[in-house]
Amino acid sequence: MLKTSLALAIGLSSSLAVAATSLTVEDIPKIQSVLQTSISPDGDTVAFTRSVPRELYVAENGSNYSELYVVDDKGVERPFITGSVSIKSIQWSNDSKTIYFLAKLKDDKFTALYQIPVDGGQAQKVLSLKDTSISSYQLSPNNKQLAILAMPAADKSEKELKKLGFMAEVYELGLKDKQLFIVDLAKADLPLTPQALNVANYVSDVNWAAQGDKLLVKTQPTALIDDKYTKSQWHLFDIATNQVTMSFATEGKLDGAELSHDGRYIAILGAEDKHDPATGRLFLADTKTGEVTDWLPDFMGHIVDFEWSNKRNTLNFIANVGTQSFVASIKTGSNKYKKLIKEGQFIASNLSIADSDNKISLTDLLK
């Protein structure tokens, strides 16, 4: 059974420092909120990023800052990286001693991968790519490799043409595909130029199998937004052969997917059909047969986020029904779920499970 004490403690994440009377127009740009939470593998600490608006009438126009904080299971919060920064994609090392994240710090021209020790110390750059930003990444289960998504670096000829005044951008033409790379997780002083894996089309998301031998890869035909909404598809990619070995047929909008601990099943967040305006249906795919089934066919709600347990084929998920949220778990082979945290305690948007499977962190949108 998952413990819920830590889940409720992380609810301090979003805040608004205003009087308890009414919300004014000028209060709205001051609202702070949590963007991402990630519980440490040992379950003792939660790292999270907080969206902090720029100071009204003082700061120059721009997007919100994203700061890094850490909170323990007693609710004690510590700021790690704050100020004029944009921290994203936080992930823990296996030993719970290091937090990895993406950012452009100091003189960075492109987004790079950084790490910071939990027990104290400055953030250090781990690696970067030559002439392009790291869009997203996933640590391998043994923390020895990285799966990286990035756009191709601009061709030298393009740079030269821009210097000569050829800067026209034709709408929906000249689009490039985002690519998938695997690199060793080792500190690199110089930007890397790795070889892209053999995955056709635009790669939009990736997840490791627990054994580290396969990847879940989501693709779409092009970078066009219509392709993202209507033609995205998840595939199983074998690293040893550098080939897609299985594709999973779904219809309509498509969100995240994750392999079970033994690699047998894949939980997929998708849409009921091509007319469904949002992802919120939970599907279960079998990696032996390729069959995809609606896991909760009669569920009158909206699945928000999920994560597999680390030691058994049980999926933990957040669901919204009406204006309420609850957290539940469901086992493969069954269409019945068990509520772990009932409605009325929060409106949750993000879920993270400790390696021991006995602690969970949530982002509460109402706190």
Using one digit for the tens of pLDDT, what is the confidence trace for 225-254? 999 999 999 999 999 999 999 999 999 999
Residues 122 and 135 in one domain: no
Confidence band of 367 (pLDDT split at 50, 70, 90): low
Query: What local confidence, expressed as pLDDT, does residue 363 receive?
Result: 81
- Picking from 82, 108, 126, the residue at the C-terminal end of a domain is 126
Determine the average pLDDT of the residues in 22-42: 88
| Residues 42 and 80: beta-carbon distance below 8 Å | no
Least confident of 171-185, 269-283, 289-303: 171-185
Residue-wise pLDDT tens digits, 266-287: 999 999 999 999 999 999 999 9
pLDDT in tens, 188-207: 889 999 999 999 999 999 99
Domain final residue, candidates 253, 286, 315: 253
pLDDT number for residue 167: 80
Q: Give the pLDDT of residue 19.
A: 46
For residue 63, the enclosing domain spans 28-126
Q: How many domains does the chain have?
A: 2
Quick one: average pLDDT of 28-45? 91
Q: Are 214 and 231 in a shared domain? A: yes
| Residue 260 belongs to a domain | no
Q: Do both 46 and 141 map to the same domain?
A: no
Overall average pLDDT of the 4-19 stretch: 42
The pLDDT of residue 12 is: 36
Domain co-membership, 138 together with 245: yes
Q: What is the pLDDT of residue 6?
A: 38
- Do 110 and 174 lie in one domain? The reply is no
Query: How high does pLDDT run on average in the chain?
Result: 90
pLDDT score, position 4: 42
**Per-residue pLDDT tens digits for 53-106:** 999 888 899 999 999 999 988 889 999 999 999 999 999 999 999 999 999 998
Q: d(Cα 104, Cα 97) in Å, to the nearest integer?
A: 22
Determine the straight-line distance between the first and last CA of the chain, rounded to whole angstroms. Answer: 25
Q: Which of 8-12, 61-65, 347-351 has the highest mean pLDDT?
A: 61-65
E strands present in 134-240: 134-139, 145-150, 179-184, 202-208, 214-220, 233-238
Domain assignment present for 66: yes
HSE toward the beta carbon, residue 65, CA cutoff 13 A: 16
Say which CATH number the domain at 93 has.
Answer: 2.120.10.30
Q: In the prediction, which pLDDT does 255 show? A: 96
User: In terms of domains, do 167 and 100 share one?
Assistant: no
Please say if the pLDDT value at position 9 is more than 50. Answer: no
Domain boundary among 100, 126, 152: 126
Q: What share of the chain is helix, strand, coil (3-state, %, to 5)?
A: 5, 45, 50
pLDDT band, very low/low/confident/very high, at 146 (cuts 50, 70, 90): very high
Residue 4 lies in a domain: no
Query: For residue 4, what is the DSSP state?
Result: -
Residues 51 and 158 in one domain: no
